[in-house]
Amino acid sequence: MLRLQGHDAAVQAFEAALRCARMHHAYLITGPAHVGKLTLAMQIAQAVNCLTAGDEPCGTCEACTRIAAGTHADVRVIRVDPEATEGPKTAIGIDAVRELIASAHLRPYEGRTRVFVFDGADTMTNDAANALLKVLEEPPPDVRLLLLAPSQDSVLPTITSRCQHVELHPLPTIQVAQILQADHGMGAEQADIVARLSRGCLGWAIEAAHEPALLAGVHQSLERIAEVVEEGLEDRFGYSEQLARRFQRDRAAAREELYLWLRWLRDVLLVQQGQSNSIVNVSWRDTILRHAAALTPADTVRWLHLVTESIEALDRNANPRLALDVMMLEAPSLRTT
């Protein structure tokens, strides 16, 4: 069977399609980062190319191991390369799609099915998405397209209408914590902290369990957020300038920092509503309590809206410095006692 913890409905649907040989030619798999989209896609690629006689990937044959290692000739992952020295660093362009179209009409080289995985289908340019329609409308019989994106709305309607949609939801925090304890040797207290920070995205939680630098980076970002909340306008503008430059270098990392802002402010609002046991950033409880006392609930809600509007503006390709400066300019200041 497919090995994907916590997404039983999606797994069962794909397993049924594999058993009945009724796989759709294109799937749009949506969900937040690290929720399991790429893991599911690669297991589907294994399933349609596995060398064993069954309908499910064995995970151990030559085809399965080569797909897992990223060396199988018939399985290709198309994604933005932020380290690239040439070409766009924030979008999948038309050249990548044209290359796909050319190879999609060739017979599989070493497997039964060619699989193209768009890891970040939401980053496709309009020209690239429109070019992809040619394959989606007239797919070769031995080709499968797997498009991964945060949501349906982040992909052009002309693309989503030609794909079968599968949505992966975040797991309950308690389930993530149990998996971290049972499968990754993490203590109960630390597992609870990591599970809360993961937002139900098991992939991130597992990575954090084995990479202390990841948690250290989150702690550093939260430390800066806590400072900015308490600073004046000049220092807040300095922060917005730094974050804008970071956004231009690494769009995903900067967006993730803005989501840290949302979770911080959500924790503040939960404390103001008497729900302090539900906060995510439990290691920062004292600071969050202080901020909750120094802001009104209306201030917190307004700040949440400002961060959300900034994320939406950046997604619409607004000027990063201007969008983030507006967020800091209109954000409330802490009340002094």
Per-residue pLDDT reduced to its tens digit, 193-206: 899 988 888 888 99
Supply the pLDDT for residue 55: 64
pTM: 0.78
Domain borders along the chain are: 8-167, 211-330
Per-residue pLDDT reduced to its tens digit, 15-56: 888 888 788 999 999 998 888 999 999 999 999 999 886 667
Instruction: Please determine, for residue 288, whether its predicted confidence score (pLDDT) is greater than 90.
Output: yes
The domain 211-330 having CATH identifier 3.10.450: the answer here is no
H, E, C per residue of the chain: CCCCCCCHHHHHHHHHHHHCCCCCCEEEEECCCCCCHHHHHHHHHHHCCCCCCCCCCCCCCHHHHHHHHCCCCCEEEEECCCCCCCCCCCCECHHHHHHHHHHHCCCCCCCCCEEEEEECHHHECHHHHHHHHHHHHCCCCCEEEEEEECCHHHCCHHHHCCCEEEECCCCCHHHHHHHHHHHHCCCHHHHHHHHHHHCCCHHHHHHHHHCHHHHHHHHHHHHHHHHHHHCCHHHHHHHHHHHHHHHHHCHHHHHHHHHHHHHHHHHHHHHHCCCHHHCCCHHHHHHHHHHHHHCCHHHHHHHHHHHHHHHHHHHCCCCHHHHHHHHHHHCCCCCCC
Overall average pLDDT of the 106-122 stretch: 91
CATH topology for the 8-167 domain = Rossmann fold (3.40.50)
Q: Do domains 8-167 and 211-330 have the same CATH topology?
A: no
Average pLDDT, the chain: 89
